[in-house]
Amino acid sequence: IQSDAGSDFTSGHFQQVCQSIGQWVRCRVAQVGGMGILERLNRTFKHEFVFRQEVNMLADLKALLTAFQHWYNEQRIQTSQ
């Protein structure tokens, strides 16, 4: 698991779970190969899909992820090259 220093990742419970399954790597802000691209992907997913619909069940989320993957890879206008 690769994480930043957000409170979700620094909590004692999270650290205990990670130690029980292995180690994780912390990334610094603006580190080359860091979390920037993934953070942007998560933001796009939340703003373009999750916040526009009601998700009540895991099956709903899985269907939303499948639709997002298709939209992101096949339909979305790519702005970076």
Query: What are 29-64's pLDDT values in tens digits?
Result: 666 666 777 788 888 888 888 888 888 899 988 999
pTM of this structure: 0.53
Query: What are 66-76's pLDDT values in tens digits?
Result: 999 999 888 88
The DSSP letter of residue 30 is T
- HEC sequence for 41-78: HHHHHHHHCHHHCCCCCHHHHHHHHHHHHHHHHHHCCC
Q: Look up tokens 């920037």; give the residue.
A: 36
In 3D, which of 40, 35, 41, 36 has the Cα closest to residue 65?
41
